[in-house]
Amino acid sequence: MTVTIERPKIRACIFDMDGLLINSEEIYTDVTNGVLKDHGKPILPWSVKADLQGRPGTESAARFLEWSQLPYTPEELYAIFTERLKPRWKNTAPMPGAVELLQNLKQKGVPIALATSSYKANYLLKSAHLDHLFGLFNEANKVMGDDSRIPKGRGKPEPDIWLVALATINANLPDHMEPIKPEECLIFEDGIPGVIGAKKAGCQVVWVPDPNILNVFADTKHEIVGEWGEILPSLDALDFAKYGL
């Protein structure tokens, strides 16, 4: 007999950024395909794209080079991407339902945090014109990929960034409130490495993948999110009541 453990009520929410809150993954894909075209290579397959999403910059570059065999070191390639991407970040825009979801959580008094693998310099470029979105997060609850509290080599798919973000929430709870446990935290992600890290952290997870990636992993999608995971087509499809929100 299979025993289903009831999900704990959600007390906090943590959000990835790229491809989840803003359309930056589209920009990454466009620039990446431009670099590939310069070297006479085919465009980036979605199966490879899925493995790169959410990983720290040079690690993502190293994995990309394993596939593409371009004549660069990870550091050289990361520098090339950084320069090509820099003028494009002014064009980032919120994903459907992102602003509304964050506003609703704030109105309900649900603590929220941001946990992005983007380094701080890139985060600032991507978010400078989107204060109506990123201004909904307290500064103390924004964790970037180069945060000193994340040990080197422990980016997504490891759980560290999620646990650091949760710690920032717990550090600012009123004295009378019990600390929020990982299983009481709902993580929102579009990338598979981030979903894996969320599960390792012991959190519940909502996966909002690009439809092309979901199509590639159609046969294993339920294994990816796990028992305490859900797949949504967009952030505006969240059922608040399901999570006790």
Q: Please identify every residue annotated as catalytic.
A: 16, 18
Contact of 161 with 155, CB cutoff 8 Å: yes
Runs of H (alpha helix) within the chain: 24-38, 46-52, 57-68, 74-85, 98-107, 120-127, 131-134, 160-170, 192-200, 211-216, 221-225
Q: Which residues contact 12 (CB under 8 A, 6 or more apart)?
A: 110, 111, 112, 113, 166, 169, 180, 184, 185, 186
Contact of 159 with 125, CB cutoff 8 Å: no
